[in-house]
Amino acid sequence: MITKGLLEYIAKRFLLHLIIVVSAISVLSKEDSTLPESDIELLSKLITSECGICPTEEKYLVGSVVLNRLEDDKFPNSVEGVISQNRQFDGYLTNQFVRSLESDKVAKNLALGENKTPHIFYFVREDLSNNKKFINFIKSGPFIKAKYHTFKIGL
């Protein structure tokens, strides 16, 4: 037999589930980026230039470095300022500084807050770097070794 108390319990549970679903839908349908389109384009170009041949996951790591720097007071407060800093991103000054469909997707997702890895601020591609001091700096503490790049965790 269904009692009034049981109906109230079911109604409350249904309402709670409905609120959770509506909240999830609003989060999932969020299309507003924290970055203007011009910054997303710059981020895409940098991702392509620094790791055009890399797996997608590694592209997210490279983009995360830029966004983590953008959020930290020790670095410039614009995407262009971060990526154009002297001797920081070699790809910025090459003819590889172009967009790709995959890098566009990665940059847009990162701008929406998706798949961003926190606390990584530096990376190096050891097979292309002659700077042993910088490689040692990257590896001096915790780091992430991806297919092509090594990423330093923390400053």
Q: Residue 128 sits in which domain range?
A: 37-153
pLDDT at 38: 96
The answer to whether 46 and 92 have CB atoms below 8 angstroms apart is yes
Task: Quote the pLDDT of residue 2.
Answer: 64
Q: How many domains does the chain have?
A: 1
Q: Let me know if residue 56 belongs to a domain.
A: yes
Query: Distance of CA 3 to CAs 8, 15, 25, 109, 118, Å?
Result: 9, 18, 33, 49, 51
DSSP 8-state class, residue 140: T
Report if residue 31 sits inside a domain: no
Q: What is residue 53's predicted lDDT score, i.e. its pLDDT? A: 93
Q: What's the angle, vertex CA 14, arms to CA 10 and CA 18, rounded to 5?
A: 175
CB atoms within 10 A of CB 33: 16
With a cut of 50, list the residues of the chain below it in pLDDT: 15-30
In a domain, 27, yes or no: no
**Domain assignment present for 90:** yes
Give the CATH number for residue 127.
1.10.10.2520
In a domain, 9, yes or no: no
pLDDT computed for residue 4 by the predictor = 63
